[in-house]
């Protein structure tokens, strides 16, 4: 791939609609545009025109808009052709562009060029894909903030401070005979303490941003007839699962998508866990165990009126279990929630709000999205890892600065912290990682 090549792609979803937008980007794209439109396009003006192929056959009529370099998304000359939303017409227009020297773009290639031309950094590029794939309003808002540079700016603030600290330490190392204030090295220790605190706040927000980006999976598990399918239906506010009095009705895991505290959640109703000779039910239980292993949270549902339903299998990860006790409407004894137990009735919906509240608090930690005046930013798992590694580097540098014999190692720790943070914005990023990130984009973005 070379940036000198002209690339084109459909920028709108495939299928019939009112409009289809075909995008062209590359050096002198306006030259090809003139052959397609038989007009000289003025920058940033919409021109209503015919679209011609190489044989001067009219393919369609529509708008052509010229975004002149560098004032375009990719930083190159970009032309947008707005034609009627028939896939056939869009394909004919793409064929005409390719016949004149362009080629079809690879997934994410427009965004990759924007990154390579310093129009956006890597975190902003990822935010574009995350915005397109958002499934909740909160995820869309946070992706927009990241796309606008909210996350990148905070990372850049840390990088700037690290650069200043490195400059002083390395000046001390490179010019030992110069009159450099050695006491400033000691003053760097409290500065690093403040920086660690700031980075920890950034890390917590990034973890929340990652949760908003990935969503969560919650599996409902328990013995047969504990009310798992009924709870799924209540939480999903739909009849997603069949509910009967017959134990073992659910064989295959059923799922429903809901939203909790702005986070997309996939609920999974699983087969009741018990010993069985039924081959089909046993297969369902095997799939249940797989679903429980992959879930972020397991709601272990019991029937308060049935002591046999209380026990949890010994091989389950208790760290992610919420103990939910169902059918309190059948109990004469008053039940009270605590940190480990939630009492509900799927039939009367008693305790459902409290259950959702506790799930939300678990998913977002100490961050209350609804009360934050400053909307958080979206992040990915690789961002969280980079922040954690940088945090470790800064802690190590802080320890070494107390020993004047380890200044060189402290400078190296700060360099590694910069490198880890630079991977977030793309300042220090391997080519194979870039390829993986942009390959996840849609073709025309």
Which of 346, 362, 134, 344 lies closest to 240 in space, CA to CA? 346
Nearest one of 131, 152, 153 to 140, comparing CA atoms: 131
| pLDDT at residue 181, rounded to an integer | 55
- Residue 56, class by beta-carbon neighbours within 10 Å (0-12 exposed, 13-18 middle, 19+ buried)? exposed
CB 100 within 8 A of CB 32: yes
Asked if residue 437 has pLDDT above 60, the reply is: yes
- Tell me the range of 124-133, 288-297, 334-343, 357-366 where mean pLDDT is highest: 124-133
Q: Is 352 a residue whose pLDDT tops 50?
A: yes
Rg (CA), the chain: 29
- In this prediction, residue 10 carries a pLDDT of 96
- Which residues have a Cβ under 8 Å from the Cβ of 411 and sit 6 or more positions away? 166, 169, 170, 173, 397
Q: How confident is the model at residue 252 (pLDDT cuts 50, 70, 90)?
A: low
Mean pLDDT of the region 29-38: 95
**What is residue 292's predicted lDDT score, i.e. its pLDDT?**
83
* Chain Cα centroid distance, residue 202: 16
User: How far, in Å, are 50, 225, 260, 266, 379 from residue 221 at the CA level?
Assistant: 61, 11, 19, 14, 30
The whole-number average pLDDT for the span 415-428 is 91
Q: What is the pLDDT of residue 257?
A: 92
Average pLDDT for residues 40-53, to the nearest whole number?
96
Could you give the strand order of the β-sheet that contains 17-25, starting from the edge strand earlier in sequence? 46-52, 58-67, 78-85, 17-25, 7-10, 103-104
- On whether the CB atoms of residues 49 and 62 are closer than 8 A, the answer is yes
Task: Please give the pLDDT value at position 368.
Answer: 54
**Mean pLDDT over the full length of the chain:** 85
Q: Residue 209: is its pLDDT beyond 60?
A: yes
- pLDDT given at position 102: 95
Instruction: Calculate ∠ Cα 171-423-162, nearest 5°.
Output: 25
What backbone torsions phi and psi does residue 363 show, to the nearest 5 degrees? -70, -40
pLDDT at 90: 96
| Whether residue 245 has pLDDT greater than 60 | no
Return all residues near 274 (Cβ < 8 A) that are at least 6 apart: 223, 224, 247, 248, 285
Rounded to an integer, the average pLDDT of 432-438 is 76
Torsion angle, alpha carbons of 286, 290, 291, 297, to 10: 120
Q: How confident is the model at residue 335 (pLDDT cuts 50, 70, 90)?
A: confident
Domains by residue range for the chain, with CATH: 7-121 (3.30.1360.120), 127-212+377-426 (1.20.120.430), 215-348 (3.40.50.300)
When pLDDT is averaged across residues 140-146 and rounded to a whole number, the result is: 92
Contact by Cβ (8 Å): 379, 146: yes
- Alpha-carbon distance values, 48 to 37, 40, 82, 286, 306 (Å): 9, 12, 9, 61, 73
- pLDDT at position 373: 46
How would you classify residue 222: left for phi > 0, otherwise alpha for psi between -120 and 50, otherwise beta? left
For 90-108, the pLDDT digits (tens) are 999 999 999 999 999 999 9
408 with 173: CB under 8 angstroms? yes
Query: Phi-psi region for residue 365, left (φ > 0), alpha (ψ -120 to 50) or beta?
Result: left
Provide the pLDDT for residue 402: 74
pLDDT recorded at residue 277? 59
Question: For residue 330, what pLDDT is reported?
Answer: 84
Highest mean pLDDT among 176-190, 237-251, 406-420: 406-420
By the 8 A CB rule, do 408 and 367 touch? no
Look at residue 82 and tell me whether its pLDDT is greater than 90. yes
């Amino acid at each position: 791939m070379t940036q000198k090549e002209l690339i084109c792609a459909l920028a709108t979803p495939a299928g019939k609609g009112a409009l289809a937008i075909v995008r062209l980007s590359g050096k002198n794209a306006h030259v090809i545009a003139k052959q397609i439109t038989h007009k000289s396009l003025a920058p940033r003006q919409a021109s209503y025109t015919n679209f011609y192929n190489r044989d001067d056959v009219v393919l369609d009529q529509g708008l052509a808009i010229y975004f002149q370099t560098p004032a375009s998304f990719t930083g190159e000359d970009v032309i947008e052709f707005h034609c009627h939303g028939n896939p056939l017409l869009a394909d004919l227009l793409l064929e005409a562009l390719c016949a004149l020297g362009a080629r079809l773009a690879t997934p994410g290639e427009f965004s990759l060029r924007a990154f390579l031309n310093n129009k956006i950094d890597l975190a902003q590029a990822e935010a574009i894909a995350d915005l397109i794939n958002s499934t909740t309003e909160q995820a869309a808002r946070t992706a927009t903030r990241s796309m606008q540079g909210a996350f990148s700016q905070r990372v850049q603030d840390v990088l700037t401070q690290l650069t200043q600290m490195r400059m002083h330490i390395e000046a001390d190392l490179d010019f030992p005979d110069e009159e450099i204030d050695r006491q400033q090295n000691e003053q760097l220790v409290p500065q690093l303490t403040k920086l660690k605190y700031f980075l920890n706040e950034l890390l917590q927000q990034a973890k929340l941003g990652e949760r908003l980006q990935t969503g969560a999976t919650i599996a409902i598990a328990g013995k047969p007839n504990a009310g798992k399918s009924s709870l799924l239906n209540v939480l999903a506010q739909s009849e997603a699962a069949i509910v009967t009095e017959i134990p073992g009705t659910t064989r295959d895991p059923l799922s429903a998508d809901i939203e909790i505290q702005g986070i997309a959640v996939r609920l999974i109703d699983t087969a009741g866990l018990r010993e069985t000779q039924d081959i089909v039910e046993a297969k369902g239980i095997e799939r249940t165990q797989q679903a429980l292993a992959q879930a972020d949270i397991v709601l272990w549902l019991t029937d308060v009126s049935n002591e046999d339903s209380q026990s949890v299998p010994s091989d389950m990860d208790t760290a992610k279990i919420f103990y939910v006790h169902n059918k309190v409407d059948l109990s004469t004894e008053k039940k009270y929630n605590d940190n480990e137990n939630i009492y509900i009735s799927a039939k009367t919906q008693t305790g459902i709000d409290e259950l959702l509240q506790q799930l939300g608090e678990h998913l977002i930690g100490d961050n209350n999205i609804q009360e934050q005046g400053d909307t958080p930013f979206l992040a990915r798992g690789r961002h969280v890892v980079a922040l954690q590694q940088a945090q470790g580097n800064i802690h190590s540098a802080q320890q070494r600065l107390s020993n004047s014999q380890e200044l060189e190692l402290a400078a190296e720790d700060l360099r590694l912290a910069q490198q880890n943070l630079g991977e977030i914005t793309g300042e220090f990023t391997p080519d194979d990682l870039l390829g993986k990130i942009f390959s996840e984009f849609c073709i025309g973005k």
